[in-house]
């Protein structure tokens, strides 16, 4: 198994700061914007970004997380059923701008399911997607991210490993892994 470092701790910090600045550029004081992290791994990225944004804007920004398991299109096609995690959206998304946050954008199917799930809570004015890593040329659906930490050329057989302190790792690091 080969491991290649895509983003180290310092660079990741800069990347996240940049993403926050981009969000502020487009969303101003965040009075009409909510942030929703994707279960299971996207919530850690979303938490970091949410905390940073609240610090930068000195505002309370609504934050929730969303689990798209029951809207996935691969149920009954897997050997083991996907296990659902908690969905927690304690505010109205009707008429709001939603920033959906995930760690890695791969085939786009999770995001497709997430959008379907989100619509069961109301009709947002606008939905945007933020991802830390955008895997190029692996999309199976016409889905693209609005805010990208880093675009990476990957093979379908490879895997992107995101290690964050919030998940119990020593340092924030992102790796590309070759499966043999």
User: Taking CB under 8 A as the rule, does residue 62 contact another protein?
Assistant: no
Q: Which two tokens stand for residue 22?
A: 């981009």
Per DSSP, 83 falls in state P
User: Taking CB under 8 A as the rule, does residue 155 contact another protein?
Assistant: no
DSSP letters, 139-165, are -SSS---SEEEEEEE--TT-EEEEE-G
User: Taking CB under 8 A as the rule, does residue 83 contact another protein?
Assistant: yes
Strands (DSSP E) found in the chain: 2-7, 33-38, 63-66, 97-105, 126-136, 147-153, 159-163, 173-178
- Given 5, 28, 51, 82, the residue binding another protein (CB under 8 A): 82
- Could you tell me which stretch among 29-37, 50-58, 112-120, 136-144 binds another protein (CB under 8 A)? 112-120
User: Taking CB under 8 A as the rule, does residue 90 contact another protein?
Assistant: no
- Given 78, 142, 157, 179, the residue binding another protein (CB under 8 A): 78
User: Taking CB under 8 A as the rule, does residue 84 contact another protein?
Assistant: yes
């Amino acid at each position: 198994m080969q491991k290649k470092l895509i983003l180290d701790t310092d660079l990741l910090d800069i990347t996240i700061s940049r993403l926050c600045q981009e969000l502020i550029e487009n969303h101003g004081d965040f009075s009409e914007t909510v942030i929703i992290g994707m279960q299971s791994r996207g919530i850690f990225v979303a938490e970091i970004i949410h905390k940073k944004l609240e610090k930068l804007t000195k505002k309370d920004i609504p934050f929730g997380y969303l689990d798209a398991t029951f809207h996935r299109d691969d149920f009954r096609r897997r050997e083991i059923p996907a296990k659902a995690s908690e969905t927690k959206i304690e505010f109205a998304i009707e008429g709001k701008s939603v920033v959906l946050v995930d760690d890695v954008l791969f085939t786009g199917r999770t995001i497709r399911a997430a959008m379907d799930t989100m619509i069961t809570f109301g009709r947002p004015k606008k939905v945007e997607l933020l991802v830390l890593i955008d895997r190029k040329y692996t999309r199976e659906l016409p889905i693209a991210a609005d805010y990208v930490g880093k675009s990476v050329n990957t093979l379908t057989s490879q895997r992107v490993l995101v290690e964050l302190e919030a998940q119990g790792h020593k340092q924030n690091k992102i790796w590309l892994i070759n499966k043999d």
